[in-house]
């Protein structure tokens, strides 16, 4: 049974720039379910953060044009009046922003920042809000939460600040948590603790989670489903075990082949040649085409649709389905490698 909480359909986000429109998100569709974790992966600049800032309606309308549908429990957030959006942002969707220092006010004590969030969304006394803030800090595993609540962000370690961000995102008990790189720059022990904390909330209160991460290893450990983004589109998506177990898109193959060996061995890593395209000057057809070792002439003709092959596992590639696994081991040529050096 599917229990879709957030459904993004044909999302486009374009930024105005002096060099022409930047198509940061370009026909993206994906969904997150209640009580499950959707992992979103892809290289830097693939549109991961912009997608979910659009869902929170936090992009500046003066520079960003957003179209498509982003439904929370069936209600399109993109057409919701701004006033109603305030009852979504925080109470229904909590977000851990990619840069916790930028998201925390440097001159306010962390406890007060959480209390303010509570007071902005409900009729609650200063005293009760302060008690709930301390309880929220305790829930995310912060030792001596009374003392920590009185500290300023710069007095906390990176791991503690991440926990404060999680506490703040969850204090209003949202249905959906969007965690944008919540563990970047943390050591692996703290990373594991934070992921376990989010996962515990998922199972205990049925929280839906979107986990945005550069790390395929992290996503493969905690996500139920995964979307692989490239140049503003999902190029593969499906159950985590399928996408990592039987990846179908040459870009996903490239991402997986560029991972260091899990056992720390010295197998040679194969980085994906070339770089993602300029979003102001996208190549015709498949966006990954110029870097793809399996490119065929037809790849340049049109942008391939995301096609479901079986049981929720979809990819946007026109390679014949038969024998893809064999192809993976035998790329035709890496065009970006064979280009003459500039």
Ligand X SMILES: Nc1ncnc2c1ncn2[C@@H]1O[C@H](COP(=O)(O)OP(=O)(O)OP(=O)(O)O)[C@@H](O)[C@H]1O
In terms of CB distance, is 86 or 215 closer to ligand X? 215
Binding string, residues 271-310; x marks residues near ligand X by CB under 6 A = --------x-------------------------------
Give the closest residue to 283 by CA, choosing from 321, 327, 335, 320: 335
What CA–CA distance (Å, rounded) separates 306 from 234?
8
Token pair in block for residue 84: 């109603």
Q: Which stretch binds ligand X (CB under 6 A): 38-46, 107-115, 169-177, 252-260?
A: 38-46
Among 47, 94, 250, 304, binds ligand X (CB under 6 A): 47
Instruction: Say if CB 164 and CB 176 are below 8 A apart.
Output: no
48 binds ligand X (CB under 6 A): yes
Give min distance, CB of 49 to Mg ion, in A.
Answer: 3
10 binds, among ligand X, Mg ion, none (CB under 5 to 8 A by kind): none
In terms of CB distance, is 44 or 125 closer to ligand X? 44
Instruction: Say if CB 251 and CB 42 are below 8 A apart.
Output: no
In terms of CB distance, is 15 or 152 closer to ligand X? 15
Among 49, 113, 117, 218, binds Mg ion (CB under 5 A): 49
Indicate the SS3 state at residue 219.
helix
Widest Cα–Cα separation across the chain: 68
Distance, CA of 126 to chain centre: 34
In terms of CB distance, is 98 or 193 closer to Mg ion? 98
93 binds ligand X (CB under 6 A): no
Instruction: Say if CB 248 and CB 315 are below 8 A apart.
Output: yes
209 binds ligand X (CB under 6 A): no
In terms of CB distance, is 237 or 334 closer to ligand X? 237
What CA–CA distance (Å, rounded) separates 309 from 321?
9
Per CB under 5 A, contacts with Mg ion among 137-196 are: none
Alpha-carbon distances of 64 from 88, 252, 274, rounded to whole Å: 20, 29, 28
Instruction: Say if CB 283 and CB 201 are below 8 A apart.
Output: no
Neighbouring C-beta atoms of residue 87, cutoff 10 Å: 11
In terms of CB distance, is 22 or 303 closer to ligand X? 22
255 binds, among Mg ion, ligand X, none (CB under 5 to 8 A by kind): none
| Positions that interact with ligand X (CB under 6 A) | 15, 17, 22, 24, 42, 44-50, 63, 98, 214, 279
């Amino acid at each position: 049974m599917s229990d879709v909480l957030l459904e993004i359909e044909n999302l486009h986000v374009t930024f105005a720039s002096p060099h022409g429109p930047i198509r940061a998100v370009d026909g993206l569709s994906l969904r997150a379910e209640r009580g499950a974790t959707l992992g979103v992966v892809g290289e830097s600049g693939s549109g991961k953060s912009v997608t979910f800032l659009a869902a929170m309606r936090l992009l500046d309308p003066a520079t960003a044009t957003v179209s498509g549908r982003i439904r929370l429990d069936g209600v399109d957030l993109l057409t919701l009046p701004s006033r109603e959006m305030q009852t979504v942002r925080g109470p229904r969707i909590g977000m851990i922003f990619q840069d916790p220092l930028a998201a925390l006010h440097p001159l306010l004590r962390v406890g007060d920042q959480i209390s303010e969030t509570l007071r902005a969304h409900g009729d609650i006394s200063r005293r009760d809000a302060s008690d709930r803030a301390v309880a929220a800090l305790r829930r995310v595993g912060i030792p001596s939460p009374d003392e920590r609540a009185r500290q300023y962000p710069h007095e906390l370690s990176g791991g503690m600040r991440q926990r404060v961000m999680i506490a703040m995102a969850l204090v209003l008990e949202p249905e959906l948590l969007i965690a944008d790189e919540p563990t970047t720059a943390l050591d692996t022990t703290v990373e594991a603790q934070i992921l376990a904390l989010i996962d515990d909330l998922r199972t205990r209160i049925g929280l839906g989670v979107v986990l945005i991460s550069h790390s395929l290893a992290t996503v493969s450990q905690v996500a139920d489903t995964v979307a692989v983004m490239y140049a503003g589109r999902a190029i593969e998506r499906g159950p985590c075990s399928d996408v990592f177990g039987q990846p179908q898109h040459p870009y996903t193959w490239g991402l997986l082949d560029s991972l260091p060996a899990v056992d720390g061995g010295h197998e040679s890593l194969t980085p994906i040649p070339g770089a993602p395209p300029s979003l102001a000057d996208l190549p015709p057809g498949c966006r990954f085409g110029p870097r793809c070792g399996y490119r065929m002439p037809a790849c340049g003709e049109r942008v391939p649709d995301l096609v479901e092959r079986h049981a929720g596992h979809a990819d946007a590639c026109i390679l014949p389905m038969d024998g893809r696994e064999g192809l993976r081991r035998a790329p035709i040529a890496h065009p970006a490698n064979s280009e003459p050096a500039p």
